[in-house]
Structure 1
Amino acid sequence: MQSLLYAHGDVQNPLPETVRVLDEILTDFMQSIAFEATRAANYSGRQKIKYEDFEFAFRKNPAFLGKVQEVFEKQKEIKKAREILRDGEDEIMKDAADEEKKREKSDTRTGGAVGAAASRVEEELGEADDDAEAELDALGKKR
């Protein structure tokens, strides 16, 4: 609540009474909207509240209705983006697996010499990264 008040122009540490009053106002507002949405759902013969029930509850206030619609539209966009990303990740993983299989096949065809050289190169790169003096400098210790 303090962050909400501060974001809308109040001091960083508002009076406890101010926070309490805002909490009461928001709680009453949320309860009344939830009650209206529940009543709309019950009238429709449902026990669960749906998006349309909140739209019905906000029908008399276009500003609130617009915000609710905007939030649900953004939620749909985020879901679509996640699906696209997940599908893209699956394709990338399949491509990487196919590429790895091709490399393994080419390594077995050319013999173990190429594979041993490649692993030696990887090991050399790994050891080159281990610089004890640089680690001591990073930790603030000197020899």
Structure 2
Amino acid sequence: MPNLMYGFGDVPNPSNDAVSVMEDMLVEYLTDTCTRAAAVADKRGKVNVEDFKFVLRKDAKKRARVDELLYMNEDIRRAKKIADIPELDNSKGSTKDAPI
């Protein structure tokens, strides 16, 4: 967490209290986002990327970042395929069309 905070402009060694508060906020945000995505996926019983996109639909910046990361993931997958680097199969953690 301190490295994440530093990467976003905090001091190199933030206080333990600041780290604790940020960690609590991050856990709360992630829990809320995952809970909302699970509620969207409730009828299917399986959460996937589209559910998270739906939850983030009103936050253009986060939605754009999700789209960028998914594009980069696909781009890396294509580059590995061209370079003949073996991919993980779906049963062992591939992210292509995998539920989250």
- TM-score normalised to the size of structure 2? 0.79
Tell me the SS of whatever aligns to 1:14. Answer: coil
Could you tell me how far 1:9 is from its partner in structure 2? 2.1
1:74 matches 2:45 = no
More helix by percentage:
1
Q: Kindly report which structure 2 residues correspond to 1:7-26, keeping only aligned pairs within 5 A, or say none.
A: 7-26=7-26
Higher relative contact order (CA 8 A, sep 6+): 2
Alignment partner, residue 97 of structure 2: none
Identity %: 31
Match of 1:86 among 68, 84, 87: 84
Pick the structure with greater CA Rg.
Answer: 1
Distance 1:70 1:35 in 2: 23
Match of 1:55 among 42, 46, 53: 53
Give the partner amino acid of 1:32: D
Unaligned runs of 5+ in 2: 86-100
What residue identity is the alignment partner of 2:17?
E
Structure 1 moving runs of 4+ over 4 Å: none
**1:96-111 alignment runs, 5 A limit:** none
Following the alignment from structure 2 to structure 1, what is the Cα–Cα distance between the partners of residues 74 and 45?
A: 24
Residue of structure 2 in register with 1:39 after alignment: 39
* Structure 1 residue ranges without an equivalent (≥5): 88-143
For the residues of structure 2 that align with 1:10 and 1:31, how far apart are their CA atoms? 24
Number of aligned residues: 85
How far the C-alpha of 1:29 sits from its partner, in A, is 0.7
RMSD (Å) for aligned C-alpha atoms: 1.3
Query: Partners of 1:59 and 1:25 in 2: how far apart?
Result: 21
Give 1:107's aligned residue: none
Counterpart secondary structure, 1:86: coil
TM-score normalised by L of structure 1: 0.56
